Structure 1
Amino acid sequence: MTEPGGAKASPIRVFLLDDHEVVRRGLRDLLDAEPDLTVVGDAADARQALARAPALRPDVAVLDVRLGSSTDSGDHEGIGVCRELRGALPGLACLILTSFDDDEALFDAIMAGAAGYVLKQIKGSDLVTAIRTVAAGQSMLDPGATARVLARVRGPVAPAGPPELARLSPRERQILDLIGEGLTNRQIADRLFLAEKTVKNRISAILTKLKVGRRIQAAVIAERVRDRERGPEPDREPEELPGG
């Protein structure tokens, strides 16, 4: 991999977390075969991952959702590792790798700051592409996944927005609302008659003030705030049964 000036770029440093040794070895062989990727370490459980990864300073962590022998659908230990590692290494991109298409895990992964979520059935070449994508600061969440996450937070009772919301200017609140509607930077710029670069800078400021690292996290907050301000649906009078 070569940078524009002709200098050779450093390979993307990858850390692996999976409780199956065969899977870890297979992933290492797959990734180390790529000239721009290098596996700097791996772990079989959460404790090992949290002890090893920070010192290795990876660019991307590929994390299995479920660790150990538990088959409980609520066992998302790998997502807890994502949250902890992102706290220690803010520049780290976490790619969640799982065998199960689980909406609850998807929601938890996004709120933990994961940059992507892929199934283990993914082709090797597509996984390599996903790692390069998140390493470049982009998201590996398709619009369908985003819609499912936003649907997950809709409900009759929504929690209040974070106190950091008060730090947003009126314009930033306006942009946050449009992020929650799923608009792109270009669409927001057109809607508000702003330069696209201005919108991008404003969104960076919004993420900083909300103390989140991902646009989708801001969208979830916007949806919760909208639900709170909208209030619960009014109760309907019960209909009488025929003959009542």
Structure 2
Amino acid sequence: MKEIQPLDPLEEPVTAELKGCVLAEDVHAPYNIPRTFTTNVDGYAVRSSDPPGTYKVLTSRTHALSDSLPDGHIFRINTGAPLPAGTDAVLMVEDTQLRSTYPDSNGEENEVEALAQVSPGENVRRPGSDVKEGDLVLEKGQILHSSGGEIGTLAFVGRTRTLVHPKPVVAILSTGNELLDLQKPITVEGDGWGGIWDTNRPSLQAALEGFGYQVLDLGIVSDR
């Protein structure tokens, strides 16, 4: 406790290799997540005031998100994508029926029948509903566990690199003339007994490697 200090922080890329490291900085969300109104299902962005009926289908290739959705149309949208202007709800695919496709388009929808009317905000996530800009998402000193949650959080807020205390390399050794290495036993001379097996070293190595540390085995040191 007196001699060993935390290793100096290093800026490292956010990958699975960070598991077992200790975060050396507070991490804040750089922007709202999601940034805009987005869908949490696959379906069609609609105006909640639109009744059931048959509608023309627009997509991101045929309609700009910044333009208001024209009357008589719905907008095909995938989970996590932003809603186009003028829409306030998302109709699930399961609540629609395909009515026509474009010729020679491999099934591209032309018209879809909406079988239900949705409420305002249905299947929609609001800007900042996960985290708001400036929110503290991970604290300095947090272990980045091998279960992956903390590394996933770094990725979630768009961090490509972060400051961490690297994992130390741990050297282990056993001491005592009476000890025998399981794999390279050398019989103790002179006392009429063979010695005892060194159990600490392999046990400690297994435990440390289980925690994700690199271990340097220094073997058995005599009593000199």
Q: Which of the pair has more CA radius of gyration?
A: 2
TM-score, with normalisation over the residues of structure 1? 0.24
Q: 1 or 2 for the larger relative contact order (CA 8 Å, sep ≥6)?
A: 2
More strand per residue: 2
More helix per residue: 1
